[in-house]
Chains A and B, each alone.
Chain A
Amino acid sequence: MTFLSTTLNTLGALFLTHAVYSTHEHTTTAASGAHAPLPLDITLELLLSLLLLTSGIVLSSPALKPIHWARWSGKIAREGRKGEGEWTREGEEVLAEGDPYEFLGLEGGIGGKGGEGRRGFWDVGGKRGEYEAWVRGQS
């Protein structure tokens, strides 16, 4: 998706630049003065570039999130944890920049045994799944 939107944006910007330059040349060199009607090919190129650029911008925008928490949580459960943000190795999404619990001084871990990495949202459903898998592995 990123590749597609970048391609669309680049192509659109090229066409737009070319169309604007062509219009400028047309208005400065047209025999019938500055307000001669624009040739059809320039108009079409302009509208095409606009279409490419707008679709590129829409496609490169971040994905929308469902407004109901239950739907959002269901989406996470169905499609797995793939937020665009970072995830700690405890399975929590990092919602804020920096560690809000930095003041606890646990970054180095308790007794130097590796940090907790506990930062934000805790995926309860995912944790339960891990626990069930662990219980089945025990028996």
Chain B
Amino acid sequence: MRPPPQHGFITTRILLKVPVSLTLPQVVSNIRNLTASLFGVAAGTLGLESYPGFIFYLVGTLVVSAMIFAFRAEGKPSEYFYRPLGDLWAGEVFGGLSGFVLTWTLFYGLVQA
């Protein structure tokens, strides 16, 4: 048997092992980031420029929110989100914007230019 370590070590060890899977916003944030890159690919391939591209992104995030609402939250968002409007429908919308612009410009340059 190994010798018991110091008390401070034990508490930090237990405190640091908070389960990551319990943090809900990460699920939405992951979905948003993945889909935002995909929307960027589509917007660049379609050759969208300026405002239509951003409108495309906003419509896409709305569709994704509706999918989370229907498939993940089972139609009861108040049970899974503290503020359904802010956390589900508008949550993390601008977090995925940088990924969207990145793939949008990349694929516009690759395919259209």
Contact = CB atoms under 8 A, between A and B. Distances in A.
Contacts of B73: 64
Contact of B24 (A57, A65, A97, A104): A65
Contact of A23 (B19, B45, B64): B45
Nearest to A83: B21
Interface in A102-123: 103-105
A22 B51 CA distance: 25
A35 B47 contact: yes
Given A34-B112, A58-B67, A64-B80, A47 B34 contact: no
B67 A20 contact: no
Contacts of A64: 24, 27, 72-73, 80
A100 B15 CA distance: 10
Contacts, number: 96
Interface residues of B, number: 42
Contacts of A103: 2, 4-5, 10
B46 A46 contact: yes
Given A57-B34, A61-B30, A61-B72, A34 B113 contact: yes
Interface in B1-45: 1-2, 4-5, 10, 13-14, 17-19, 21-22, 24, 27, 30-31, 34-35, 38-39, 41-42, 45
B35 A38 contact: no
Which of A27, A54, A97 has the most CB atoms of chain B within a 10 A radius of its CB? A54
Nearest to B39: A50
17 contacts: A20-B45, A27-B112, A34-B113, A54-B60, A57-B31, A57-B34, A57-B38, A64-B27, A66-B80, A67-B24, A71-B79, A95-B19, A96-B17, A96-B19, A98-B17, A103-B10, A105-B2
